[in-house]
Amino acid sequence: MQRNLLSRYQISFIPLLQLLIAISWLALLSCNPGKQSKVPTCVKLTKAQIQKWVTKKYTDPTNPNHMTSVQFTTAYAGPGAIFRVYVMGVRADGTPIPESLTELTPVDQDACNIKLPDFLLLGTIPRKLSELNILKSDGGVMDSLEYLKLVPVEYTDPSTKYQFMAYESYHIKTGGITLKVEGGVLPPCPPCPNCIAPCPPPTSCFGTPCQAISPDSL
């Protein structure tokens, strides 16, 4: 019963700014939705999508305030709802880059048999670009990278014991070579989702003190 109560408040873990941006982009993307899934499935961030960041110079290391990390956000209301995953770039000073918002696309749906509870909390997942290892030192995309693959997994936060959706990440390289990204599972940063990579969040997230969240406060 507690899990169902918490699931109704999944959206409270997503920063309002990111939510409004995602809704706006969702309206545009719905005109050309491409592949869609109504269950959690594997998704990919393609080389072409990363190249758009490079072309717009978001990742240019000569800019002191260039993109140094990303935030993954999952949009999923439960069984029967469309499952979507977004990623947004974050500058070195911790400010997001709304124009970099990108929707990941489903991949290997037939082979990606995900066994997850019907209801999981959703948190923002920050990750440093250096940890994802998708860029070269000059800010360009790794030559051998075809795409970054994310596989949904269940993650139990050690402090709150709440169950969140997290991701295992893999490099899919030229020739179909698959390499697991070092660092293991990409966990969310509860209970303060608007934080700067890596987890756990610092004592404050963009100036807002991190507050413990209990079922009584929901």
Split at pLDDT 50, 70, 90, the class of 192 is low
Give tens-digit pLDDT for 18-55.
Answer: 444 544 544 444 444 456 888 899 999 999 999 999 99
| pTM, to two decimals | 0.74
Q: Taking a C-beta distance cutoff of 8 angstroms, is the pair 167, 40 a contact?
A: no
Give tens-digit pLDDT for 31-41.
Answer: 444 568 888 99
Split at pLDDT 50, 70, 90, the class of 156 is confident
Instruction: Enumerate the domain spans of the chain.
Output: 2-217
Mean pLDDT computed over 110-134: 85
Split at pLDDT 50, 70, 90, the class of 152 is very high
The tokens 């179909």 sit on which residue?
176
Mean pLDDT computed over 160-189: 83
For residue 8, pLDDT beyond 70: no
For residue 215, pLDDT beyond 60: no
Q: Dihedrals φ, ψ of 93, to 5°?
A: -85, 5
Q: 10 Å Cβ neighbour count for 51? A: 13
List Cβ neighbours of 43 (8 Å cut-off, separation of 6 or more).
85, 104, 105, 106, 107, 149, 150
Q: How far is CA 149 from the centre of its chain?
A: 11
